[in-house]
Amino acid sequence: MFLTMALLRKGISGKQWIGKYRRPRAITWQMKRNMLVHLEREAENEYWISRPYMTAEQERGHAAERRAQNWLKIKETKFQKFPEHKYVADHLSHLNTTKTWSS
């Protein structure tokens, strides 16, 4: 049965561009050029990534002051958003009974 199918089949069954037995795409010169450009760009990126900008000693603690200032700014904005304190005396002032009533 498999031999019969292999001999009598005249092409790719079903959809020719998808599936397990799909038709392979032709490689064009544009595809080759684009792949070379991509590989060259990747090689350049690897080159620059492999060379650090600062040494380990320079990198240690170089941004501590800036980070502390940023944290202070964040803290100040949080405190500005915080609502005013509500005091019990203000809240319960309508219950004061110090007024003298005339009889």
The domain locations on the chain are 26-50
Residue 67 pLDDT greater than 60, yes or no: yes
CA distance 99 to 55: 77
CA distance 91 to 66: 43
Q: What is the CB neighbour count within 10 angstroms for residue 68?
A: 10
59: which residues sit within 8 A by CB, 6+ positions away?
Answer: 52
pTM for this entry: 0.44
CA distance 51 to 24: 41
Q: What is the pLDDT of residues 34-58, one digit of tens each?
A: 999 999 999 999 999 999 888 888 8
Region 77-89: mean pLDDT is 83
Q: Is the Cα torsion angle 32, 34, 37, 39 positive or negative in sign?
A: negative
